[in-house]
């Protein structure tokens, strides 16, 4: 089963400055944070801010090529986490045929924003990497109910969520002292070979 989500924010991880995209479930307050690369966050941010690049970016080119071949993106699905990397698929309608293309989640999100299609995340991914902030004083209503994450348990994610700011993107960070050691973060995108 999939859950529809929207891009809720972009930002940088405290300490490391790694780019992050925050997805929020459309129907309730459940989130997933995905670590991505600098180029991918720029590709997502430019669309999220309603800007158009002077020349087509790679994602724009792919969307144009798909359209020219008679394919239409219907939605994207972030379907699994393998080796701490989110994996996604572009779901296409190619002249009446159902076609799915393997994709990095960041590329799929960039394409979904460009084409205006829904972003879906498999429930299994949300169970593994998603979180729902728990209001202070809130208690589980049933013994069998899965516990929600409390504000205290959010740890680094709490800082990430509060620190998400599009204005921070692309600006160098100032470091006056080395960053403290960090806990392992959220699963990230695999880095493309150079």
Reduced to 3 states, what is the DSSP secondary structure of residue 190? Answer: coil
Say which CATH number the domain at 141 has.
3.10.690.10
pLDDT score recorded for residue 181: 53
The pLDDT of residue 144 is 40
Show the CA angle centred on residue 25, arms to residues 16 and 37, nearest 5°.
30
> Which range marks the domain in which residue 163 is found?
2-168
State whether residue 185 is helix, strand or coil. coil
- 1 Cβ contact list (under 8 Å, min separation 6): 122, 123
Q: What is the number of structural domains in the chain?
A: 1
Whether residue 194 lies inside any domain: the answer is: no
Angstrom distance (rounded) from CA 135 to CA 121 = 24
Considering the domain boundaries, does residue 96 fall inside one?
yes
Residue 131 per-residue DSSP state: B
For residue 176, what pLDDT is reported? 47
Question: How many of the other CB atoms lie within 10 Å of CB of 93?
Answer: 13
Strand partners, 89: 77, 102
State residue 53's pLDDT score. Answer: 86
Residue 189 lies inside a defined structural domain of this protein: no
pLDDT at site 129: 96
Beta carbons within 8 Å of 125's beta carbon, 6+ residues apart: 32, 78, 79, 80, 81, 86
pLDDT in tens, the chain (194 residues): 999 999 999 999 988 899 999 999 999 999 999 999 999 999 999 998 888 888 999 999 999 999 999 999 999 999 999 999 999 999 999 999 999 999 999 999 999 999 999 999 999 999 999 999 877 655 544 444 444 444 544 444 445 545 555 455 444 444 444 555 555 556 666 666 65
> Does 174 map to a domain?
no
Q: Could you give the CA distance from residue 11 to residue 164 in angstroms, rounded to a whole number?
A: 4
**What pLDDT, on the 0 to 100 scale, is given for residue 194?**
58
pTM over 0.85: no
- Is there a domain that residue 185 lies in? no
Question: Does residue 119 lie within any of the structural domains?
Answer: yes
CA distance linking residue 177 with residue 187, whole number of Å: 26
Residue 39 lies in a domain: yes
186 is a domain residue: no
């Amino acid at each position: 089963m999939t859950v529809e989500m929207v891009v809720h924010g972009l930002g940088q991880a405290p300490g490391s400055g790694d780019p992050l995209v925050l997805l929020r479930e459309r129907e309730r307050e459940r989130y997933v944070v995905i670590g991505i690369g600098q180029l991918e966050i720029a590709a997502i941010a430019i669309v999220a801010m309603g800007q158009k690049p002077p020349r087509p970016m790679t994602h724009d080119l792919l969307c144009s090529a798909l359209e020219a071949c008679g394919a239409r993106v219907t939605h994207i699905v972030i379907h699994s986490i393998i080796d701490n990397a989110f994996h996604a698929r572009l779901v296409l309608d190619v002249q009446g045929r159902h076609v799915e293309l393997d994709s990095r989640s960041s590329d799929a999100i960039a394409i979904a924003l460009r084409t205006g299609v829904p972003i879906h995340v498999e429930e299994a991914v949300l169970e593994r990497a998603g979180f729902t902030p728990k209001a202070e004083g809130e208690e589980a209503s049933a013994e069998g109910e899965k516990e929600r994450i409390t504000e205290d348990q959010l740890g680094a994610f709490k800082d990430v969520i509060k620190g998400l700011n599009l204005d921070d993107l692309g600006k160098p960070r100032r470091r006056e002292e080395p960053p403290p050691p960090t806990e392992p973060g959220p699963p990230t995108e695999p880095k493309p070979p150079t």
